[in-house]
Amino acid sequence: MPRLRAMLLVGRRIERLERHGKQLAIVAERGGPVLIVHLGMTGQLLYLARGESAAREDHIHVRWIFGDEAQGASLLFRDQRRFGRITPAASMADLLAQEWSRLGPDALRVRAADLAASLSRTTRSIKAALLDQEIIAGIGNIYADETLYHAGLHPLTPAHSLTRPQVHSLSAAIRTVLNRAVRAGGTTLRDYVDGNGQAGKHRANLLVYDRAGLPCPVCGKPLIASVVAQRTTTFCHQCQPPVPSTIRPHRG
Ligand SMILES: [Zn+2]
């Protein structure tokens, strides 16, 4: 129990928050330990001011109380389906040297040159590459589909075959799509809420995700759903035309 309390930063003062991809780091002061929070599918971090109570009391796994127990504000980690996780690291330096060193560049800050270098290392489809956190960190299924639509790229295009202009338009599309989603508070499909309990408003802005059979907003052809990288993938056959495979069969 004392070890668990130490891992959860009990008694520590929080210095700052850092984020890389889908992971949030709560950093204790003076080079102290770090708590890494991954919300997964249904995780929520909820901040409650003094005297405020949670809209729902179920599925709360951790409750931190700031300052005086009787009067302090609190932070809750709530997770219905339990795909989220909380893991400790000894320090920010340790986290950067270990777990975060395996992640690709952060999607909101990635430069086209770094993205090109990452993508050149895999022959998998661009859809699979965008979902691979070791190639680029921070993109899930919704934003992968929206990004590829924005960039006019077929989801099955081999990642290493993208031309320089295609990588440039992809990296611009990633920033556009993610920044727009962040400004709208994220995408709430069912029950996602931010730290203040607000649902995201980005769902109304989605152009392809979960819209199979509906007309493409640009050309009007029905959007197609298929399974790519084991995930449902929605795209427009007209605006994201398939490219002939650049992989040549081996000879002799
Ligand atoms: Zn279209």
Under 8 Å between Cβ of 35 and 177:
no
Q: How far apart are CA 171 and CA 155, in angstroms?
A: 15
- What does pLDDT average to in each consecutive run of 10 residues of the chain (252 residues)? 78 92 93 91 85 82 81 86 88 95 94 94 96 95 96 97 96 95 76 74 83 96 95 96 62 40
Cβ 35 vs Cβ 25: under 8 Å: yes
**Tally of CA atoms within 13 A in the half-sphere of 234 that contains its CB:** 19
Burial of residue 188, with CB atoms counted within 10 A of its CB: 0-12 exposed, 13-18 middle, 19 or more buried: middle
Look up the CATH architecture of domain 112-235. Answer: Orthogonal Bundle (1.10)
pLDDT at 250: 47
Cβ atoms of 221 and 228 closer than 8 Å: no
- Compute, in angstroms, the gap from residue 155 CA to the centroid of ligand 1: 14
Question: What is the pLDDT, as a whole number, of residue 34?
Answer: 95
Give 215 Cα–ligand 1 centroid separation in angstroms.
8
pTM equals: 0.86
Provide, for the chain, the percentages of residues in helix, strand and coil under a 3-state DSSP scheme, each rounded to the nearest 5: 25, 25, 50
CA distances from 189 to 150, 158, 200, 203 (A): 21, 30, 9, 7
Q: Give the C-alpha distances (Å, rounded to integers) separating 117 from 22, 112, 147.
A: 21, 9, 19
CB-based contact 32:12 (threshold 8 Å): yes
How much distance in Å is there from the Cα of 235 to the middle of ligand 1? 8
Domains 2-102 and 112-235 share a fold: no
CA 220 / ligand 1 centre spacing (Å): 6
pLDDT value, residue 245: 59
Question: Where along the chain do its domains lie?
Answer: 2-102, 112-235
* 222 alpha carbon – ligand 1 mean position (Å): 8
Ligand 1 mean position, distance from CA 210 (Å): 15
Q: Can you give the pLDDT at residue 66?
A: 86
Residue 213 alpha carbon to ligand 1 centre in Å: 12
Using the mean position of ligand 1's atoms as its centre, give its distance from the Cα of residue 198 in Å. 33
Residues, beta carbon < 5 Å, ion ligand 1? 216, 218-219, 236, 238-239
- The C-alpha angle with vertex 74 and arms to 45 and 202, in degrees rounded to 5, equals 30
The reply to whether CATH 3.20.190.10 applies to domain 2-102 is yes
d(C-alpha 132, C-alpha 228), whole Å: 13
